[in-house]
Structure 1
Amino acid sequence: MAQDRIIIAGGGIGGLATAIGLAQKGIRSLVLEKAPELGEIGAGIQLGPNAFHAFDYLGVGDAARNMAVYIDNLRLMDAISGQEITRIPLDDAFRTRFGNPYAVVHRGDLYGVFLRACRDHELVELRTNAGVADYDQDDTSATAILESGERVTGRALIGADGLWSNIRKRVVGDGKPRVSGHTTYRSVIPVEDMPEDLRWNAATLWAGPKCHIVHYPLSGWKLFNLVVTYHNDAAEPVAGKPVSHDEVRRGFEHVNPVARQIIEKGKDWKLWVLCDRDPVMNWQDGRVVLLGDAAHPQLQYFAQGACMAMEDAVALAHQMEACSGDATRAFPAYQDMRRLRTARIQLQSREIGDHIYHASGAHAELRNAVMSARSPEEWYNMISWLYGSTGLDGAVSSETMRNRNA
């Protein structure tokens, strides 16, 4: 029985999505999570239509839709003038074009959808206090070597163990992540604490020189998610460090007072220094493969980190079925299906952060002029490569995926 299972290192959104995707194909898995409890830290996540394509394929579409907040627009504001630059309507025309809605959710709510699905499925086993330090393999199996020294064997191993992946150390060996120099501060506040004139049903981004501010509603309009980012050339990775209001204010003295009040309303701010890695074209070593941030960590500027991990889970489950459960054939096919799409998001996320959201002077004025002139249809054409995809390069249509739950 143990030899039939797939070992998944990492119990985050990508790991759990992969486990439930495999289970839908009749494939048993064991998820190994290093933390003592299964859960997610963080706050809000934006979900494009491609995320809903993945939910449907993975059999959790109804549960995901029930916990989402459906917003009306994506709004881009000038953080200096306080004026709107452009907006992308997320109305019926958007849904018709891309086959699914755009929504925002609390990360914990999204995680709970996959955790409940995994706990309810007899083919998924979850284990905590089981950090994977290394692996070994032979012609028929792969073995996860835990931090405790224990060895856990299955027929293959999927490294979904995040930015600092120990599996990636062996598969790719590219050292530490790249530090972007961008620092993000996050807070979640009750909706009544949000300034009334900013309680927009939108994912709003205020773009300013070397900084930007994001806000949107969460959890059935009970909360507002606040994310402010400052390009302060931070040199070392930091994750989840509590910081004072004064530290958060430091990068935003120059922005419009309307946008700046968001910082004043934030509570219990925490800091992350953003990191990513350069794209690589090989994620596989025999019976071992990478997934999610272990394979293609990206900056936050496309709001696609969780979405790409879910698409990975879809593609991997699809290829395992297509290859009759043979990981040595399925893993290269999965990798080929995913690597250019995820590389594009990695590289363009850097460009957006540096040259669109954080522009100044003539560059910012040109951005405003070009982006304000685009019609909704022109915006839809520009983003169709991202939101119109199922993650399978057309192997499975979004309608087919939606019908899997029918």
Structure 2
Amino acid sequence: MASTPQDTLFIAGAGIGGLTAAIALSRRARPVTVLEAAPALDPIGSGLQLSPNAIHVLRGLGLEEAVRRQAVAPEAIRVMSARTGKPIAEIPLGQTAETRYGAPYLVIHRGDLQQVLLNAARASAGIDLRLCTRVRDARQSADAVQVEVETDAGIDHLSGGALIGADGVWSNVRRRVMDLRQAVFSGRTAYRAVIPIEAVPAAWREATGLWLGPRAHVVHYPVSAGREFNIVALVAEDWQEESWSTPADTAALLARFASWPAECRDLLALPNRYLKWALCGMDPGTSWVNGRFALLGDAAHAMLPFAAQGAGMSIEDADALARAIDTTDHLPNALARYQATRQDRAESVLRLARSNDRVYHMAGPLALARDTVMKGLGGERLLARLDWLYGWRPPEGR
């Protein structure tokens, strides 16, 4: 049966979640129009981590090999003490993770992952990607949505079956269309930089480093198939701006870490410039769905990056959304089923990220106790604690 305009599903946002959802829906012969405000999908951002739960979804979409070509599979997460400069624990990844979970643990530049998804979307039948198209507002009736968009040519009105807000932590769909509270500033700021891998000591080129210190921590790992190195410093700071790419004061950042171990300070001093963004999060329990409107990824459950699952949860959401819509032609029921399937798990990860925020940034005796517990557990048992997260797989079948 030929599709009609009312069958079209609108996705606001061509980020990781939005593109993955569009691809997953297109694989199920659902027509999708992706509405992206940016004039071009430039490779902005820094590195991100794709744990096995996300790779299983990408594998099901036929994208695993393309992702692997741009990624690195780190051998371990090396947890370091900012107090002593010594290792606390080494959590095995590499072949250990792939054997344990049936898929690899990868690190990748956000722009490289987005390009893989963009290539797949452009090659997929039934996906209409519209750049320079900003969702201004929308309304719904019993059997359709009407979306008001702003383009270079002016205001336009589109009609379809549903509107999915995959437009990130500062979601316009969440704020303007669904009239929900936005994510709240966490009191943390992230500083990011990407540098050539040749500038980095060889000891750090095949592992993920995680330095834990009072009111701050540092993460670094290779990206871009090992050609570049991603460094992120996360600090307690009272600064807020709705931007991913605000230039940072590098000297002021380095001064924050003046008392940290030399090995970490030397890594932080390698980039010539940093960009920064304010970390925002949402409280659990907020509805993601209202009839024919729904939210996905950060727009639904923005979380602090302290569980490295922002991209993973968006990818899982996309898979669950497509599966729910594939089961029925009644979209409000499908969207309600999508939320019921996803919300508990996403909010468990949100809580894990908040818990890690407290644990990572301990000081004094609490930090000493944390380090002692982690050393006592050892890397294998620390990894096993995350089996519930990394061991997730999409349901069998479509």
Global fold match (TM > 0.5) = yes
| 1:265 and 2:265 correspond | no
Q: C-alpha deviations, 1:7-53, integer Å up to 9, x for none?
A: 11111111110100000111010000001112341011111001111
3-state DSSP of counterpart to 1:373 = helix
In structure 2, the partner of 1:284 is 289
Q: What RMSD in Å do the two structures reach over aligned CA positions?
A: 1.7
CA contact (8 A) 2:76 2:93 kept: yes
Q: State TM-score, norm by structure 1.
A: 0.92
| 1:2 and 2:5 correspond | yes
Cα shift at 1:200 = 3.7
In structure 1, the partner of 2:308 is 303
Aligned mate of 2:22, from 13, 19, 24:
19
- In structure 1, C-alpha distance between the alignment counterparts of 2:275 and 2:43, rounded to whole Å: 15
Q: C-alpha deviations, 1:125-155, integer Å up to 9, x for none?
A: 1001111021111121112211343111111
- In structure 2, C-alpha distance between the alignment counterparts of 1:265 and 1:336, rounded to whole Å: 46
CA contact (8 A) 2:47 2:223 kept: yes
CA contact (8 A) 1:315 1:337 kept: yes
| 1:229 and 2:234 correspond | yes
Q: C-alpha deviations, 1:53-91, integer Å up to 9, x for none?
A: 110122312212222211100111001211000011114
In structure 2, the partner of 1:61 is 64
3-state DSSP of counterpart to 2:386 = helix
- In structure 1, C-alpha distance between the alignment counterparts of 2:122 and 2:352, rounded to whole Å: 36
Identity among equivalent pairs (%): 39
- In structure 2, C-alpha distance between the alignment counterparts of 1:184 and 1:376, rounded to whole Å: 26
CA contact (8 A) 1:298 1:349 kept: yes
- In structure 2, C-alpha distance between the alignment counterparts of 1:45 and 1:377, rounded to whole Å: 23
Letter paired with 1:190: P
3-state DSSP of counterpart to 2:108 = strand
- Tell me how many residue pairs correspond in the alignment: 392
Letter paired with 2:70: M
- In structure 2, C-alpha distance between the alignment counterparts of 1:211 and 1:363, rounded to whole Å: 15
| 1:210 and 2:215 correspond | yes
| 1:337 and 2:338 correspond | no
Q: Which stretches in structure 1 are left out of the alignment for 5+ residues? A: 402-406
| 1:178 and 2:184 correspond | yes
Moved more, 147-156 or 250-259: 147-156
- In structure 2, C-alpha distance between the alignment counterparts of 1:50 and 1:159, rounded to whole Å: 22
CA contact (8 A) 2:77 2:92 kept: yes
3-state DSSP of counterpart to 1:349 = helix
CA contact (8 A) 2:189 2:237 kept: yes
In structure 2, the partner of 1:404 is none
| CA pair 4-237 structure 1, distance change in 2 beyond 3 A | closer
Moved more, 376-385 or 252-261: 376-385
- In structure 2, C-alpha distance between the alignment counterparts of 1:144 and 1:250, rounded to whole Å: 48
In structure 2, the partner of 1:39 is 42
Q: How does 1:182-193 map to 2 (within 5 A)?
A: 182-193=188-199
In structure 2, the partner of 1:163 is 169
- In structure 2, C-alpha distance between the alignment counterparts of 1:377 and 1:213, rounded to whole Å: 22
| CA pair 42-35 structure 1, distance change in 2 beyond 3 A | same
| CA pair 206-376 structure 1, distance change in 2 beyond 3 A | closer
Letter paired with 2:158: V
CA contact (8 A) 2:174 2:182 kept: no
Cα shift at 1:309 = 0.6
CA contact (8 A) 2:137 2:149 kept: yes
Q: C-alpha deviations, 1:150-181, integer Å up to 9, x for none?
A: 11111111111111112112565343421111
Letter paired with 1:12: G
- In structure 1, C-alpha distance between the alignment counterparts of 2:243 and 2:94, rounded to whole Å: 38
| CA pair 218-235 structure 1, distance change in 2 beyond 3 A | closer
- In structure 2, C-alpha distance between the alignment counterparts of 1:25 and 1:235, rounded to whole Å: 40
Cα shift at 1:101 = 0.8
- In structure 1, C-alpha distance between the alignment counterparts of 2:363 and 2:225, rounded to whole Å: 36
Letter paired with 1:259: C
| 1:194 and 2:197 correspond | no
Letter paired with 2:289: Q
3-state DSSP of counterpart to 1:345 = helix
| CA pair 236-171 structure 1, distance change in 2 beyond 3 A | same
Cα shift at 1:348 = 2.2
Aligned mate of 1:380, from 380, 383, 386:
383
CA contact (8 A) 2:193 2:275 kept: yes
CA contact (8 A) 1:14 1:310 kept: yes
| CA pair 6-212 structure 1, distance change in 2 beyond 3 A | same
In structure 2, the partner of 1:239 is 244
Q: C-alpha deviations, 1:163-216, integer Å up to 9, x for none?
A: 1112112565343421111111111111111234x4341111111111111111
Letter paired with 1:70: A
Q: Which stretches in structure 2 are left out of the alignment for 5+ residues? A: none
- In structure 1, C-alpha distance between the alignment counterparts of 2:204 and 2:266, rounded to whole Å: 13
| 1:251 and 2:256 correspond | yes
